[in-house]
Amino acid sequence: MTQRNQQLFERAQKRIPGGVNSPVRAFRSVGGTPPFLVRGKGSRVTDADGAAYIDYVGSWGPLILGHAHPEVVAATREAALGGLSFGAPTESEVEMAELLCRLLPSLDLVRLVNSGTEATMSAIRLARGHTGRDLLIKFEGCYHGHSDSLLVKAGSGLLTFGNPSSGGVPADVARHTLVLGYNDGEAVEQAFAQHGEHIAAVIVEPVAGNMNLVAPQPEFLHGLRAQCTRHGSVLIFDEVMTGFRVGPAGAQGLYGIRPDLTTLGKVIGGGMPLAAFGGQRRIMEKVAPLGPVYQAGTLSGNPLAVAAGLSTLRLIQAPGFFAALERKTQALCAGLNAAAAKHGAAFSAQSIGGMFGLYFRAGCPRHFAEVMQCDKDAFNRFFHAMLDAGHYFAPSPFEAGFVSAAHSDADIAETIAAADRAFSRL
């Protein structure tokens, strides 16, 4: 990084914890000074020193159309001219709810909120209120936001209750969460055999994206559906990341599974703070003001965020949109794999829809333990080589990457060529 980025980072650290407003932005995992971004257009971003990068972070997934898409910007601007916030119902909120329910058949009712954390926290509270049970099952390596019930790591044994993974989370809260291995259907069966009558919900990233991208085994997801149905538990698909990113009906459409509740975010806001939770009418009618499960938010359904989200969701319905996005993402991964193989690097890459994962190990990981086998030092060297060459990947070996519709074939080819040079020096 050059002078302006460094100056801004030093200034930020005096008033913001770690100098950032979300931990991974601090570059602690990879080292160095983060670029302070000042503008984005299409597939590229520019930092405070004027350096431009082909961007594969995409604001961590929302920017499926690329940065500053003119129609999304115009829709947001028009909404802003009418007023920034009302704290009262608007027609655009109704349009968003109708569109989400049309695109995802598992949704009968939907509530708009402001963040993925808020959506998952509310869905879990609703599942507990609906079932009258306390226990939650989550999976190691899956991240569902920073509410207390979810900042829990695996216990010491297969079916032991979780332990807090963050300061400030009471052990008494963590004891209501079971943490199992992702893609481990046998562990799920054992957990339900032992605790089924007490399990309120299972929450899962149907495609894991927060321990890098880890693809689900189809039988694993179908097994979750079967166990929840058998035991009267609520199956929650956390599609904050995968919703309208891995396909036109999210992961639930891709794998043919209907969850009881779904959480959404990122793409549905088009880059603005917007998220949602929704599902079966019989469950969603437990939410206030219809039922006893309380949830509220002053800025929920903010007109600017809804305008950006509606514009984005309508644009991605264009025929062939997802096929083209998938093709480009697959081309990126194939090119990276070929470049690594050419230089004998222990590396693998894979994609699902517009998401991809890069792993410095011989094969793509299937669960958290295999993710942890990746060579983090090799990733760090690759990351900085690519950043110096003008290609911005997630600054962590444990985060998925994203391709947008704005990425051109030339962008992909340029990135692969840069990776070839980077692998030659690892």
What integer pLDDT is reported at residue 108 of this predicted model? 98
* Per-residue pLDDT tens over the stretch 295-342: 999 999 999 999 999 999 999 999 999 999 999 999 999 999 999 999
Low-confidence ranges of the chain (pLDDT < 50): 1, 156-159
pLDDT at residue 156, rounded to an integer: 45
Per-residue pLDDT, 154? 61
Query: 3-state class of 19 per DSSP?
Result: helix
Domains and CATH numbers, the chain: 3-64+319-425 (3.90.1150.10), 70-315 (3.40.640.10)
Cβ–Cβ under 8 Å, residues 194 and 162:
no
Q: Give the torsion through C-alpha atoms of 142, 145, 149, 155, to 10 deg.
A: 30
| 49-61 pLDDT per residue, tens | 999 999 999 999 9
Query: pTM of the predicted model, to two decimals?
Result: 0.96
Give the pLDDT score at 2. Answer: 61
- Residue type for position 403: V
Instruction: Tell me the two tokens of residue 106.
Output: 């598992």
Give catalytic status of residue 266 as yes or no.
Answer: yes
- Tokens in use for 345? 């690097």
User: Sign (positive/negative) of CA torsion 307, 308, 310, 311?
Assistant: positive
The one catalytic residue in 53, 266, 328, 359 is: 266
Predicted confidence at residue 135, as pLDDT, reads 96
d(CA 336, CA 349): 7
Pick the catalytic residue from 143, 255, 359, 392.
143
Please answer whether residues 267 and 276 qualify as being in contact, where contact means their C-beta atoms are separated by less than 8 angstroms: no
The one catalytic residue in 47, 55, 184, 238 is 238
pLDDT given at position 123: 98
| Strand (E) or helix (H) holding 275 | strand 275-279
| Residue 128 main-chain phi, psi, to 5 deg | -70, -40
Q: Look up residue 74 and give its amino acid.
A: A
* pLDDT for res 16: 96
pLDDT at 1: 45
Long-range contacts of 380-384 (CB under 8 A, 24+ apart): 380/29, 380/30, 380/31, 381/422, 381/425, 381/426, 382/358, 382/419, 382/422, 382/423, 382/426, 383/30, 384/30, 384/31, 384/32
Q: Token pair for residue 329? A: 């993402």
Which tokens in the block code for residue 127? 């599942």
Check if 260 is active-site: no
| Sole residue written with tokens 């708009």 | 112
Q: 67 pairs with which residues across the strands?
A: 42
Cα 122 from chain centroid (whole Å): 17
What pLDDT, on a 0 to 100 scale, did the predictor assign at position 155?
53
Is 56 an annotated catalytic residue?
no
Residue among 327, 330, 333, 345 nearest 382 (CA): 345
CB 178 within 8 A of CB 196: no
Q: Which amino acid is at 17?
A: P
Q: Are 269 and 308 in contact (CB under 8 A)?
A: yes
3-state secondary structure of 201: strand
Question: Is 400 in contact with 354 (CB distance < 8 Å)?
Answer: no
Q: Are the beta carbons of 336 and 393 closer than 8 angstroms?
A: no
Q: What is the mean pLDDT of the chain?
A: 95
Q: How far is CA 126 from the centre of its chain?
A: 21
Q: How far apart are CA 182 and CA 64, in angstroms?
A: 27
Secondary element (H or E) of residue 190: helix 185-195
pLDDT given at position 326: 98
